[in-house]
Amino acid sequence: MNAFPPALFKGYLEYKKGKFSDERERYRQLAEDGQSPETLIIACCDSRAAPEIIFNSFPGEIFVIRNVANLVPPFKPDVDYHSTSAAIEFAVQSLKVKHIVVLGHGRCGGIKAALDPDVEPLSPGDFIGRWMDLLAPAAEAMASNQWMTGTERQRTLEHISIRHSLENLRTFPFIAAREREQNISLHGAWFDISGGDLWITEPETGDFFIPEL
Amino acid sequence: MNAFPPALFKGYLEYKKGKFSDERERYRQLAEDGQSPETLIIACCDSRAAPEIIFNSFPGEIFVIRNVANLVPPFKPDVDYHSTSAAIEFAVQSLKVKHIVVLGHGRCGGIKAALDPDVEPLSPGDFIGRWMDLLAPAAEAMASNQWMTGTERQRTLEHISIRHSLENLRTFPFIAAREREQNISLHGAWFDISGGDLWITEPETGDFFIPEL
Amino acid sequence: MNAFPPALFKGYLEYKKGKFSDERERYRQLAEDGQSPETLIIACCDSRAAPEIIFNSFPGEIFVIRNVANLVPPFKPDVDYHSTSAAIEFAVQSLKVKHIVVLGHGRCGGIKAALDPDVEPLSPGDFIGRWMDLLAPAAEAMASNQWMTGTERQRTLEHISIRHSLENLRTFPFIAAREREQNISLHGAWFDISGGDLWITEPETGDFFIPEL
Amino acid sequence: MNAFPPALFKGYLEYKKGKFSDERERYRQLAEDGQSPETLIIACCDSRAAPEIIFNSFPGEIFVIRNVANLVPPFKPDVDYHSTSAAIEFAVQSLKVKHIVVLGHGRCGGIKAALDPDVEPLSPGDFIGRWMDLLAPAAEAMASNQWMTGTERQRTLEHISIRHSLENLRTFPFIAAREREQNISLHGAWFDISGGDLWITEPETGDFFIPEL
């Protein structure tokens, strides 16, 4: 039990011999010059929705925050630790990314929990309960909609959540300012983990669609 | 500027045609059955240190939190949002992962900022300043050591940070309990983004070493 | 007990019959012409870190000072005996060596003693305590760093010590002058007695690295 | 000029591939268990008189001090740094060696300088002048003996010097005590760098002889 997970280490050895070998020079440059990713992706922790896999990324391409249900809290500067806000501040103000993509996905466990009237706190601290409260009004409205199916409520709240995160991004003064100056642009996307389709947010309406290729 | 980043979408199309195609059946299963990753990885947002790439992961294998400098705040149940704590609670109490790996890396921008006496807040809220304060005493001791080189201070604080995150994980009662019952084990690892080596933490001492292959 | 150590003498007989025999002519020349080694090596007395073995030296190649922890005291011309300074003066001014290498190593007993808060003087004179005081400020900073592991403190102080010796070499006016005129160059190296790797000091930063072969 | 001396590094690579490879397990043990050499050798820095080569030593076998003319200063506990005394204290009190061998050799440059009436200080500090003053009365008597040849004076003073070092060793209280208790024994030896013979000191008289084999 104490040994480093063997499957993980085996995967690392495959990577070292394969992909890392091919990218050896790129890694050296990235180490010397530092990273300059153009895109910040805010995604879910879910093991089926990793941005690097979905976007076939190369090292140095994307700066990635991952939390439960790819949420962005509203801007709130105070004396506490704010993990997601700190990472957003670093990406925008230090790395000066040009794009922010909020990437949601189907079958999200956090969204599922937010919709469940009978869900118990996972521990006395109920961290996940408080975290998902970021979606509270919309989640309650969904949960109480007896005419939609479970799948429709799930998918709709996933979409609402992505739009909600985009709005909260705009409560950060430095993001709002850069968006006005057209130095940054915000995008939403939703990945269907079952069929593999990627849906993009239409900027004006917030609707999700599959781009024509 | 408003268009979804073309490079990202192009990468998605390659993925859809390539890797997703190969894994189509696995994705279907994962969608139907839900995810059951055995490992939680807490990694940095850095574009050069993505766990899925380093560990050559397949979908469903790892549940991933990514924040700046792969920090874990100490257990603090209160009325605020705690992004990292919520994700940890979900991984341990709901997904019941068997392993937690704190994955740090070289040239970490957050660590660099913590060591810089002249660093200015990136925005009036100074989110990253407060976030990196999680390492404050150790960072000050490192920053004031005039006999070490910049690289030595950077690497040592990266190592200290990983050990610190492991200690803070143990302040979560449900993690301490599971560790005692041998239902979960904690690991530290550090990835050299320049040369590609993976260093693992020796459980007794906390020293980092490259495993003999 | 009084007999000359048998193992030593046996080793001498093997040498006389083997290596000395092969080098007979070289020894004769060296005796007639005198020695003209191009490199002064300042190394530790440690039985596991002999320069002639590590560098596979031939007779006449290296002039070697060995003291505890390969230290160089700062330049201090006064009326006392200065063993290391005298040997340095001889090597540089009389033999006119082109290179000085300060060779440190892992698991150094002198460094270990300097880091130990509970160490007792080995005898009332406490010679080793005063000798290791040459590293005092750096040793205290290391010893008081509670966030580093014992191994990390040990190795870091070994590295600091090598850089410190190089700096003290430069306090000798005749070395500083020769370095300016590019008649002598100074190098640091650290030998891992466990794994056999040799690390070299990068001249600009003082960082240690394993040269690519 | 600034590059690490190539000949040295080449020698290291030969050693790493050859002798170190053969002794790999021994080095690992020595690193884990620490060193326990049974013999301290006090030898000269001279490039032609390395103990490890002369005695065909294996790693961990001998603890070696090297200074100009293998001198031992008399016991003098005060507030100054004493390189040779510190190393002797460490070898005897910490490593508890069973034997001390003072190894002199022919054509010794330090002895030559001590015999030269016209020798100029090598630098304003004249470190080597003061160091060789440890032999002053004997050196003057030799230098002024007009009936001996240069070679006879050189060799005789080399022999006197070895005996002088052995006497000075006995001024260290902890050495005198251990010798009385028969826990340590002292030996002198002289290596003819021209012909390769090793002469040993006869304990009672101090005469040098070549042992019968």
pLDDT score at D126: 87
Contact of A7 with chain B, judged by CB distance below 8 Å, is answered with: yes
Mean pLDDT, residues B178-207: 95
CA–CA distance from A210 to each of A165, A202, A207, B20, C171 (Å)? Answer: 20, 10, 10, 17, 71
D32-58, pLDDT tens digit by residue?
999 999 999 999 999 999 999 999 999
pLDDT score at A118: 84
- Residue D190 has phi, psi (to 5 degrees) of -135, 130
Position of tokens 């959540």? A161
Answer yes or no: do A55 and B11 touch at CB < 8 A.
yes
H-only helix segments in chain A: 6-15, 21-22, 24-33, 51-54, 83-89, 109-115, 127-132, 136-143, 150-169, 173-180
Pairwise CA distance, residues A64 & A42, whole Å: 6
Nearest CA in chain C to D13: C55
Answer yes or no: do A52 and B48 touch at CB < 8 A.
no
Which chain C residues are Cβ-neighbours of B106 within 8 angstroms?
A: none
Tokens of C47: 């039985």
B80 falls in which pLDDT band (50, 70, 90)?
A: confident
Contact of D74 with chain C, judged by CB distance below 8 Å, is answered with: no
pLDDT score at A78: 80
The DSSP symbol for A94 reads I
Pairwise CA distance, residues B132 & B206, whole Å: 21
H-only helix segments in B45-132: 51-54, 83-89, 109-115, 127-132
D149 falls in which pLDDT band (50, 70, 90)?
A: very high
pLDDT score at B117: 82
Contact of A151 with chain B, judged by CB distance below 8 Å, is answered with: no
As a three-state string, the secondary structure of A139-199 is HHHHHCCCCCCHHHHHHHHHHHHHHHHHHHHCCCHHHHHHHHCCCCEEEEEEECCCCCCEE
Pairwise CA distance, residues B5 & D190, whole Å: 80
Residue type, B22: D
The answer to whether the beta carbons of residues D152 and D181 sit under 8 Å apart is no
Diameter over CA atoms, chain C: 57
Helices D136-143 and D150-169 meet at what angle, rounded to 10?
160
Element (H, E) at A63: strand A62-67
Which chain C residues are Cβ-neighbours of B197 within 8 angstroms?
A: none
Pairwise CA distance, residues B172 & B184, whole Å: 13
Q: Please, which residues have CB within 8 angstroms of residue D181's CB and are 6 or more apart in sequence?
A: none
Tokens of B114: 């913590």
Q: How many residues does the structure list for chain D?
A: 213
Distance from CA of C160 to the nearest CA of B (A): 6
Between C2 and D147, the higher pLDDT residue = D147
Distance from CA of B127 to the nearest CA of C (A): 25
Tokens of A195: 């069929």
Nearest CA in chain A to B197: A16
pLDDT score at A1: 55
The answer to whether the beta carbons of residues C63 and C95 sit under 8 Å apart is yes
- Residue A211 has phi, psi (to 5 degrees) of -60, 140
Residue C117's Cβ-side half-sphere holds a number of Cα atoms within 13 Å equal to: 8
Tokens of A35: 């990273």
Those chains having 3 or more beta-carbon pairs within 8 angstroms of chain D are: C
Q: Which long-range contacts (CB under 8 A, 24 or more apart) does D152-159 make?
A: D153/D115, D154/D106, D154/D107, D154/D108, D154/D111, D154/D112, D154/D115, D155/D106, D157/D111, D157/D114, D157/D115, D158/D104, D158/D105, D158/D106, D158/D108, D158/D111, D158/D190, D159/D104, D159/D190, D159/D208
Q: What is the ipTM of this complex?
A: 0.94
pLDDT score at C126: 87
The per-type count for chain D, helices as H runs and strands as E runs, is: 10, 6
The answer to whether the beta carbons of residues D89 and C49 sit under 8 Å apart is no
Pairwise CA distance, residues B34 & B36, whole Å: 7
Contact of A196 with chain B, judged by CB distance below 8 Å, is answered with: yes
Q: Please, which residues have CB within 8 angstroms of residue C133's CB and are 6 or more apart in sequence?
A: D81
Which chain B residues are Cβ-neighbours of A2 within 8 angstroms?
A: 185, 203
Pairwise CA distance, residues B123 & A165, whole Å: 20
Contact of C96 with chain D, judged by CB distance below 8 Å, is answered with: no
Based on its alpha-carbon atoms, the radius of gyration of chain C, rounded to whole angstroms, reads 19
Contact of A209 with chain B, judged by CB distance below 8 Å, is answered with: no
Which chain D residues are Cβ-neighbours of C125 within 8 angstroms?
A: 75, 77, 85, 89
What is the pairing mode between strands A198-201 and A185-191? Answer: antiparallel
Q: What b/e readout covers C182-213, taking b as 16+ CB neighbours within 10 angstroms? A: eebbbbbbbbbbbebebbbbeeeebbbeeeee
Beta bridge partners of D41: D64, D101
pLDDT score at D1: 55
Query: Could you state, in chain order, the average pLDDT of each consecutive group of 10 residues for chain A (213 residues)?
Result: 87 94 91 94 96 95 97 86 92 97 96 90 89 92 91 95 96 96 96 94 93 80
Out of A59, A127, A194, the one facing B85 most closely (by C-beta) is A127
Q: In B18-118, which ranges are E strands? A: 39-44, 62-67, 99-105
Residue B49 has pLDDT above 90, yes or no: yes
Touching status, chains A and C (3+ beta-carbon pairs under 8 Å): no
Mean pLDDT, residues B5-23: 93
Closest of B107, B67, B45, B1 to residue A61, by C-alpha: B45
Element (H, E) at A105: strand A99-105
D23-34, pLDDT tens digit by residue?
899 999 999 999
Tokens of B88: 């940890």
Alpha-carbon D2 to chain mean position = 31
pLDDT score at D118: 84
Q: How many residues does the structure list for chain B?
A: 213
pLDDT score at C115: 95
Pairwise CA distance, residues D115 & D120, whole Å: 12
Position of tokens 């020695």? C35
Closest of A57, A53, A58, A60 to residue A38, by C-alpha: A60
Those chains having 3 or more beta-carbon pairs within 8 angstroms of chain B are: A, C
Contact of B109 with chain A, judged by CB distance below 8 Å, is answered with: yes
Touching status, chains D and C (3+ beta-carbon pairs under 8 Å): yes
Pairwise CA distance, residues C71 & C73, whole Å: 6
Contact of C112 with chain D, judged by CB distance below 8 Å, is answered with: no
Contact of B206 with chain C, judged by CB distance below 8 Å, is answered with: yes
Contact of B7 with chain A, judged by CB distance below 8 Å, is answered with: yes
The model carries a pTM of 0.91
Answer yes or no: do B45 and A91 touch at CB < 8 A.
yes
Q: What b/e readout covers D139-171, taking b as 16+ CB neighbours within 10 angstroms? A: beebeeeeeeeeeebbbbbbbbbbbbbbebbee
Answer yes or no: do D66 and C65 touch at CB < 8 A.
yes
In chain C, which residues have pLDDT < 70?
A: 1, 79
Query: From the candidates C9, C10, C56, C132, which should be mutated to test the interface with D, based on the most D CB atoms within 10 A?
Result: C56
Tokens of A23: 């990218």
Those chains having 3 or more beta-carbon pairs within 8 angstroms of chain A are: B
Q: Measured on CA atoms in the order A66, A67, A72, A75, is the torsion positive or negative?
A: negative
Element (H, E) at D141: helix D136-143
Based on its alpha-carbon atoms, the radius of gyration of chain D, rounded to whole angstroms, reads 19
CA–CA distance from A205 to each of A100, A200, A201, C120, C134 (Å)? Answer: 18, 12, 8, 77, 72
pLDDT score at C199: 97
Answer yes or no: do B141 and C145 touch at CB < 8 A.
yes
Nearest CA in chain D to C28: D194
Those chains having 3 or more beta-carbon pairs within 8 angstroms of chain C are: B, D
Based on its alpha-carbon atoms, the radius of gyration of chain A, rounded to whole angstroms, reads 19
Closest of C61, A192, A127 to residue B85, by C-alpha: A127
Answer yes or no: do B152 and C164 touch at CB < 8 A.
no
Q: Please, which residues have CB within 8 angstroms of residue B58's CB and are 6 or more apart in sequence?
A: B23, B26
pLDDT score at A102: 98
CA–CA distance from D206 to each of A25, D159, D176 (Å)? Answer: 66, 9, 18
Q: Please, which residues have CB within 8 angstroms of residue D146's CB and are 6 or more apart in sequence?
A: none
Pairwise CA distance, residues D20 & C109, whole Å: 22
Diameter over CA atoms, chain D: 57
Nearest CA in chain B to A124: B77
Which chain A residues are Cβ-neighbours of B189 within 8 angstroms?
A: 4
